[in-house]
Chains A and B, each alone.
Chain A
């Protein structure tokens, strides 16, 4: 069943979503919110990459996939920077 890249992608997306929920719960339990923010955004980036590669078919277009991945990574770094500023200045 997991030989089909689409099935693998679905399992990966569900697992990554579950991981996001667990990490968010750990934040409520007292885990450093800066770590939580970084992990949550990393998981979101991984989900976005799976959707682009497998659902939208960019696995067949490596140049475009690299371009999208680069822009998405920079965007997530921007979000992380904005998220961390209050923690860094307090």
Chain B
């Protein structure tokens, strides 16, 4: 009985919605497995992986990191401001956060377009299979996040903002782990 009560209090300690944390942990596990598999596959051809990585735009990806962490900052501020009753400020922060999500997608799209122009696709090298799979899956989460940010800017209850912003922070968290492994670890 006391164990159950203890577990309850530990779960109660978690900020926000429990199901959102289940989602965050699930996504981290999926992307974590993908990144580990990527580096494990690299063992078979480290030189080929390094050569393939030289085709990536590190500057654009680094810029995207700043764009995403700034967007996450605005989503976190929106929750703080909504809690203080500054509703308009919170909504504006969410809209700007969503726009920064769109900026991320534009930079990512330009990167994909450049690869396509050079004839680089999934089959060019195993590196690019993982590159497209992991960054593409992440970009799909960014699209979902932009939609969610717009929804919570519209339906702006404190709980909605907390849950929606948590999803966006998860997207941010995945990117800060994905970026160095795919773009920097040659």
Contacts and interface: CB of A to CB of B under 8 A. Distances in A.
Given A6-B80, A13-B69, A40-B184, A48 B14 contact: no
Contacts of B10: 63-64
B46 interface: yes
B186 A6 contact: no
Nearest to A67: B10
A70 interface: no
A57 B180 contact: no
Interface string B61-74: 01001100110110
B76 A20 contact: no
B87 interface: no
A78 B35 CA distance: 10
A51 B185 contact: no
Interface residues of A, number: 38
B69 A56 contact: no
Given A51-B173, A82-B42, A86-B43, A17 B69 contact: yes
B169 A86 contact: no
* B: contact size bracket: 35 or more
B32 A21 contact: no
B186 A82 contact: no
- Which of B35, B165, B169, B180 gathers the greatest number of chain A CB atoms within 10 Å? B180
A37 B73 contact: no
B157 to A, nearest CB: 17
B65 A17 contact: yes
A37 B76 contact: no
Given A63-B10, A82-B42, A56 B62 contact: no
A17 B175 CA distance: 12
B72 to A, nearest CB: 5
A40 B169 contact: no
Interface in B68-123: 69-70, 72-73, 75-77, 80
Nearest to B50: A33
When A and B form their complex, which 7 residue pairs have the shortest distance between CB atoms, in order from nearest?
A: A57-B15, A82-B39, A86-B46, A10-B73, A13-B69, A47-B176, A55-B169
Given A10-B70, A37-B185, A51-B169, 16 more contacts: A6-B73, A6-B76, A13-B176, A17-B66, A20-B184, A21-B58, A21-B62, A23-B184, A40-B185, A44-B181, A51-B69, A55-B75, A56-B24, A56-B169, A64-B13, A79-B39
27 contacts: A6-B73, A6-B76, A13-B69, A20-B65, A21-B58, A27-B184, A27-B186, A33-B186, A44-B176, A44-B179, A51-B72, A51-B172, A55-B172, A56-B166, A57-B15, A58-B15, A60-B13, A60-B15, A63-B13, A64-B13, A75-B36, A79-B35, A79-B185, A82-B39, A82-B43, A83-B185, A86-B46
